[in-house]
A and B are shown apart, each in its own frame.
Chain A
Amino acid sequence: MKHRTRTALALAGCVAVLAACSTEDPNASGGGGGGGGEGDVETGNGVTDDTITVGMLTDLSGPFAAGAAIQVTQTQAYYDQVNEDGGICGRDVEVQVQDHGYDPQRAVTLYRSMAPEVVALQQVLGGPTSAAVLPLAEADGLYLGGHGWAGVALQYENAQIPGTTYAIESANAIDYLVDELGLSEGAKVGVVYFVGDYGSDSLAGAQYAAGERGLEVVPQEITPRDTDLSAQASALQQAGVSAVILGAAPGQLASLAGVLAAQGLDVPIIGNTPTFGPSLLETPAGPALEQNFYTVTSIAPYSLDEPGVQAARELYEAAAPDGELGWEVPLATAQAELLSAALEGACEAGDLTPEGVVAAMRETSDLDTEGLYATPLDYTEVTEPPTRTVYVSRASADAEGGLEVLGTFEGPSAQSYTVG
């Protein structure tokens, strides 16, 4: 009996240590915002005379750990540079990182302990986790960014969506199929999507646009556990689809593209932002992807030749010379830029409090990101996405990060789609 207890305890200990290890920089800042401030800037939680603390609730031990780690690295590198250049509002920016492991319950708990110590949340990664935290942050009037592109976030005043929504991405995909890839009226389009906020939003946009453009949608619901999409591919072939839109993850993309090619179904596959990962090109599905895969993203792919993206690349390659490449790099840079702009705005308005940051974000009407996004961003309307334009890219083994940009695109149904 005693023996058994000891083994169990040892195990529990191991798990605890592991969790601790994967939490970088726990409670790095003492936090504690004072009421008073320097000059005539009013301050609140997370701001002292010499530091501004921002939080990241991210997934360092769950399914999105790998991409999340890139974002943490890049965000850290970004603020290191900001601090080197004199900081924001005369203060250094510190990033507090906590690992929620893609568990909404843990995310809420971590949020509660983090909220009083930060002036804004740079990121709450993940659909279910950010959905759990968003209402709480709204009640606290706390800025929340980096939560992905699900349309539901557009109802929160405090949420800064990092680009357009999945629905508008997919509406653009339909428009692109009709206008650029020559699908004719009456053609069928398969939509393979994850159950949940992400996939359902993608499906909604595709269905709306298909209605507008006279196409028919063939939906196929899957979960992240499905990595063999043979049955779905057969069903799509049976239905006679002329194109497929995919609202899923890289594993599903590789399987779907491979099987479709094996079945001799040579049709375009258009994916939402999270669908692609550069390592897919080394799998057996690589050739099929280069042949048929497109992606519609509001954030620029890694390889785009624009100053904003170039700067992000340089920063990242200096910070993590052997790091994995991917769209997470420009995304993290853009998210940090968005928050920095809001912090600067709040400083100028003399109100560097959580509420002040949200107010400043909502006054941003024409933010230029030097190519990180296709158009300037406008956050003045709460329920409106800041842009409806996407980059259209193709898979290419020659491009860094595996994607080669074809151009920007904004179709008629993407323009007319009403959110919510």
Chain B
Amino acid sequence: MTYLLTQLANGLSYGLILGLIAVGFVIVFTSTGVLNFAHGSVLLAGAYLVAVLHDPIGFWAAAVVGIAGAALLAVLINAVLVRNLAEANPGTAAILMLGVDILLLTELTRRIGNRVLTIGSPWGADVFSFGGITLPMSRVIAAGLAIVVFALLWFLFARTGTGIAMRAAAADGDTASLMGIRLSRTGAAGWALAGALAAIAGIFLASFPAPGVAPTLAISAFAAIPAWVLGGFDSVVGAIVGGLIIGVVTALAVGYESELHFLGRGLGEVVPYAVMILVLLVRPSGLFGRKEAVRV
């Protein structure tokens, strides 16, 4: 029982981090229609900044710089590359993002080298124990922070003019611009938000129990893609729920691998995609994908 609870807690906290990443995918997609395959390297860039800066300026200042830096990087990618594509079709933009990802990743790999850079967080390798369940402190903090971030996102999108403008622009950009909403602004805001969320996720993905900032961090962002897709591509709530599902299912598949032996080894790798495919078979537009509101 304790074992099950430990694995569940593990999965939920990991799932919330995946949710942070997946929400970034969603926001970029809805605000500019781009499948942002450079998201992983933006995440890595943010975490890298924290790793190199925490020594000279302290962890908290470094975290702020890292998050702001990733947001700025994302905005630049949008401003310099995506916006110049004008009305490009989504395929072109997605391939462009793959190219950006390769460029960024190569440069960051070169800078990081074969070192594993620590993030220098104050919670280090502390562990949180409660009723026999042990969970890395970083995960507990990540889960709490993710929930706060999601609440702030809800407030932004449901209560503030900027957030509502972003949703309006995502729903119908042409009409939104007739309301005086500048699509270049909402697009930039979307990219900035996605970059900041990625950097936050990156800090925790690079924290204990992971070793630190290494180039593979960029790839772990792709673990959020099944979460994004099964949530329904354009739904923030879907991305969060998708993240939680993928996180829990992965943790359980790995944790009970010996019992699930008949399915073969390395289940944790396959299970997110299996779940995603199952969901899409039942609900082709994902769990929370946009369905036209029914007019009667």
Contacts and interface: CB of A to CB of B under 8 A. Distances in A.
B115 interface: yes
A231 B266 CA distance: 12
Given A61-B106, A63-B216, A228 B85 contact: no
Given A222-B266, A235-B257, A254-B212, A283 B118 contact: yes
A269 to B, nearest CB: 14
A225 B219 CA distance: 7
B140 to A, nearest CB: 12
Contacts of A63: 109, 215-216
A412 interface: no
A231 B255 CA distance: 5
A320 to B, nearest CB: 12
Task: Determine chain B's interface SS by DSSP, over half rule.
Answer: helix
A252 B257 CA distance: 18
A66 B254 contact: no
A239 to B, nearest CB: 7
Interface string A232-269: 11110011000000000011111100110111100000
Interface stretch (B20-28, B64-72, B95-103): B95-103
Contacts of A61: 106, 109
Contact of B209 (A15, A262, A326): A262
B114 A285 contact: no
Contacts of A65: 109-110, 113
B277 interface: no
A70 B88 CA distance: 43
Given A250-B211, A259-B136, A284-B118, A7 B84 contact: yes
Given A66-B114, A261-B125, A262-B127, A251 B254 contact: no
Contacts of B48: none
Contacts of A283: 116, 118, 211-212
Contacts, number: 169
B208 interface: yes
Interface stretch (A46-54, A147-155, A274-282, A375-383): A274-282
Given A228-B210, A239-B258, A255-B211, A221 B216 contact: no
- Quick one: which of B3, B10, B115 has the most chain A CB within 10 A? B115
18 contacts: A3-B86, A218-B258, A220-B257, A221-B265, A225-B269, A227-B210, A227-B216, A233-B209, A234-B255, A238-B3, A238-B255, A251-B214, A277-B116, A282-B118, A284-B125, A284-B208, A285-B208, A324-B114
Given A228-B14, A230-B209, 17 more contacts: A3-B86, A14-B99, A14-B103, A18-B106, A66-B113, A219-B265, A222-B266, A227-B210, A227-B216, A228-B209, A233-B209, A252-B211, A254-B211, A259-B136, A262-B125, A262-B127, A277-B114
